[in-house]
Amino acid sequence: MPLFCPALSVFIIFVTLMELSGLNIKFLPGVGEKKAAVLLEELGIQSYEDMLYHVPYKYIDRSRIYTISELTGRLPYIQVKAKIKDLKSVGTGKSQRMTAIAYDDTGTIELIWFKGFKYLPGQLAPDVEYLIFGQPSEFNHRLNIVHPEIDKFEKASPLLVGFQAIYPTTEKMKKAFLNSKAIGKIQDTIFKTIQGKISETLPAWFIQQHKFMFLHEALYNIHFPTSPEMLKEAVFRLKFEELFYIQLNILKLKYKRKTYFQGHVFQNIGTYFNTFYQQYLPFELTNAQKRVIKEIRRDCGSGKQMNRLLQGDVGSGKTLVALMCMLISLDNCCQTCLMAPTEILATQHYDTISHLLEGMNIKVALLTGSTRKKEREEIHQGLRDGSLQILIGTHALLEDVVTFQNIGLVIIDEQHRFGVAQRARLWQKNKVPPHILVMTATPIPRTLAMTLYGDLDVSVIDELPPGRKPITTLHTYDRKRMDVFQFIEKELKKGRQAYVVYPLISESEKFDFRDLEAGFEQLNNYFLPKGYKVGMVHGKMKPAEKDFEMKRFLTAETKILVSTTVIEVGVNVPNASLMVIESAERFGLSQLHQLRGRVGRGADQSYCILMTPYKISNDSRKRIETMTSTNDGFEIAEADLKLRGPGDIEGTQQSGLTCSLKIAHLGKDILILNEASRIANEILASDPELQNEQNQLFATQIKRLFKTRITWRYIS
């Protein structure tokens, strides 16, 4: 970074984001080791640049000072100029709190602190004017402000007037004195320390053409808005830029893939495919399945490497599509593999597929972490000499010792469980890149998929096999548990089976684990005497134990399966017609939808019961309402997008497909996204490699932003 010299301040000094990314936040005055560690842990903030891109989630108008007589319980955050008297401690123990009276010429209002008031008496003096900031609320017909922010009026810095930015913080951050105000202070210090301008990340001609605000100005205004209009422009510029570079990158790669990457050409539809289709297919394909198979066939025959995402709601029959595509690969003398995220799923796929292929003389094998050494060696050998045609498995497929004679098609099920690096390894298993088909049941709204997954081709199975009855979803409260038990019993009497799922967000959380075990015991006590066995699976069990429990449920030896979300993806037990989800308020929408998808797979009417405490947050309530009002995965994905933004939708983040957006919100900024995409296309149409002089900055930026992502982007 250039040193600042006051005598030369007429020259504008430019600092690049690259330079700012090299400056560790811990050296910034007022931060230090401890706070820096918390920032890193909680928000992943390490450099000045990271901090500048940690943007407010809302703003509060502090341009106006209210009088106390104007206050009502319906106002948002406000500020008053007042003196403070009668500071005292009330109550003892847990209910201890501190109160005071704030007064101006027009009236009085009570201030209340429930915690953190130890130092108050030393800080507040009588007859001093303060700027008091907070949200008035009404309690017993009296107004008060809980945990107000207080500054001496004459000392109130410019930070406290005009628009004030409010930053997301966490409990840990607050404990480390990193509340929203402190973050604002840090941003302020950064701008003071830079003492120059942040250099542009978009070419000058481009900024001029689209009348964008300059980067430096935009970053400043997003933290310290100088007016509502400036704030709006700043937000637009930053959102646009963020989405634009993602689009430019994806579209550039797509172009490259389509131009340079030769794939295996699957010209033949031969004996394997046709024999299976004519003699072994257990049911008529749905129209959607037929269409998707056609799309994949066309892709694989084109001479270009296929890179396709197959979306289909839970139960839409993706496995069969996968199998038929694998047969096309065999017809073209190529091996093929199917990779699943868990051992349970891999085993299930193996069972289903070997069963479907019975009598066809095709060699299929299963490779997982628990495959025995001898068998494992045989599999490796079979893959190398080409005698083994279809391999199904888990991460074990990725090990370096696994090499194929000639792999033509890789299918990845429930892709979001796989990390980016892992997919890259699959890719490297062959000289000619295999065709890749990624299957997912996490629906992505179509507009979003087309724009955001620009480098993937997308196929959608938008039709369920015939005869499925829509699942009935109900919401009930914890205290009605006995009613729920009776309902379960009624279903069991009809010969059905039930899942009861508990949240176990991280499998190591002791607290959740107790819930799960207590739930198991309760169910066992109720149902065992009536002759119904209850089983349990969770992530802490050894794979063999899990398998054992799953098999007992699959063969209907156990009638109820208590579990964590390990059963979330893919598990198929058509006789199970009831899904009870405990603490449903703690699950995300896509997860709830996945779980519900475990039932409704047979011909019987199926039910999903969502249990929650009486009191739940507004967002939770909306999620539950969405679930009870629709079975359509795409509708649910739209709702999820609106509620949370796609960064949080399970899968999108890990899959890297959305990158993590810092400023834009894909649920709300779809119009900006479309515009960014259109403009990116326009630029690439005339300069696909971004080699023109005037596009140099685009190329540099892409390199900087996406340098670690290049290799895997080809994969999905």
Q: Which stretch binds Mg ion (CB under 5 A): 23-31, 564-572, 638-646, 652-660?
A: 564-572
Using CB under 6 A as the binding rule, whether residue 285 contacts ligand ADP is answered as: yes
DSSP H/E element including 84: strand 78-90
DSSP string, 183-195: HHHHHHHHHHHH-
Residue placing its CB nearer to ligand ADP in the complex, 51 or 314: 314
Using CB under 5 A as the binding rule, whether residue 315 contacts Mg ion is answered as: no
316 binds, among ligand ADP, Mg ion, none (CB under 5 to 8 A by kind): ligand ADP
Using CB under 6 A as the binding rule, whether residue 572 contacts ligand ADP is answered as: yes
Smallest gap from residue 322 Cβ to ligand ADP (A): 8
CB atoms within 10 A of CB 584: 25
Using CB under 5 A as the binding rule, whether residue 570 contacts Mg ion is answered as: yes
Smallest gap from residue 166 Cβ to Mg ion (A): 43
Residue placing its CB nearer to ligand ADP in the complex, 318 or 713: 318
Smallest gap from residue 368 Cβ to Mg ion (A): 17
Give burial (CB, 10 Å; 0-12/13-18/19+) of 680.
buried
d(CA 389, CA 407): 9
Residue placing its CB nearer to Mg ion in the complex, 321 or 584: 321
Among 181, 223, 601, 644, binds ligand ADP (CB under 6 A): 601
645 binds, among ligand ADP, Mg ion, none (CB under 5 to 8 A by kind): none
The contact pattern for ligand ADP, residues 304-333, with x = CB under 6 A and - = no contact, is: --------x-xxxxxxx-------------
Q: Which stretch binds Mg ion (CB under 5 A): 105-113, 151-159, 284-292, 567-575?
A: 567-575
442 binds, among ligand ADP, Mg ion, none (CB under 5 to 8 A by kind): none
Contacts with 551 (C-beta within 8 Å, 6 or more apart), sequence order: none
Q: Do the beta carbons of residue 356 and residue 282 sit within 8 Å?
A: yes
Q: Which long-range contacts (CB under 8 A, 24 or more apart) does 68-74 make?
A: 68/102, 68/103, 68/104, 68/106, 68/107, 68/108, 68/109, 69/106, 69/107, 70/106, 71/109, 71/136, 71/143, 72/136, 72/138, 72/143, 73/136, 73/137, 73/138, 73/143
Q: Do the beta carbons of residue 352 and residue 345 sit within 8 Å?
A: no
Smallest gap from residue 441 Cβ to ligand ADP (A): 5
Using CB under 5 A as the binding rule, whether residue 667 contacts Mg ion is answered as: no
341 binds, among Mg ion, ligand ADP, none (CB under 5 to 8 A by kind): none
Structure tokens at 412: 């990845």
The contact pattern for ligand ADP, residues 57-96, with x = CB under 6 A and - = no contact, is: ----------------------------------------
Residue placing its CB nearer to ligand ADP in the complex, 443 or 667: 443
Contacts with 642 (C-beta within 8 Å, 6 or more apart), sequence order: 667, 668
DSSP string, 599-631: SS-SSS--EEEEEE-S---HHHHHHHHHHHH--
Structure tokens at 706: 């996406």
Q: What's the CA dihedral at 151, 153, 159, 164 to 10 degrees? A: 80
Residue placing its CB nearer to ligand ADP in the complex, 166 or 285: 285
d(CA 568, CA 553): 15
The contact pattern for ligand ADP, residues 443-482, with x = CB under 6 A and - = no contact, is: ----------------------x-----------------
285 binds, among Mg ion, ligand ADP, none (CB under 5 to 8 A by kind): ligand ADP
E strands within 593-712? 607-612
Using CB under 6 A as the binding rule, whether residue 600 contacts ligand ADP is answered as: no
DSSP string, 296-329: HHHHHTSSBPPEEEEEE-TTS-HHHHHHHHHHHH
Smallest gap from residue 612 Cβ to ligand ADP (A): 26
Backbone dihedral region for residue 116 (phi beyond 0: left; psi -120 to 50: alpha; all else: beta): left
Report the residue closest to ligand ADP, judged by CB. Answer: 317
Using CB under 6 A as the binding rule, whether residue 289 contacts ligand ADP is answered as: yes
Residue recorded with tokens 């997954």 = 453
Smallest gap from residue 336 Cβ to ligand ADP (A): 17
Using CB under 6 A as the binding rule, whether residue 382 contacts ligand ADP is answered as: no
Residue placing its CB nearer to Mg ion in the complex, 353 or 664: 353
3-state helix, strand, coil in the chain (%, to 5): 45, 20, 35
Using CB under 5 A as the binding rule, whether residue 312 contacts Mg ion is answered as: no
320 binds, among Mg ion, ligand ADP, none (CB under 5 to 8 A by kind): ligand ADP
Backbone dihedral region for residue 583 (phi beyond 0: left; psi -120 to 50: alpha; all else: beta): left
Smallest gap from residue 381 Cβ to ligand ADP (A): 31
283 binds, among Mg ion, ligand ADP, none (CB under 5 to 8 A by kind): ligand ADP
Smallest gap from residue 276 Cβ to ligand ADP (A): 14
Smallest gap from residue 531 Cβ to ligand ADP (A): 28
∠ CA 547-323-546, rounded to 5°: 5
Half-sphere exposure of 48 (CA within 13 A, CB side): 22
Site residues for Mg ion per CB under 5 A: 570
Site residues for ligand ADP per CB under 6 A: 283, 285-286, 289, 312, 314-320, 441, 465, 570, 572, 574, 601
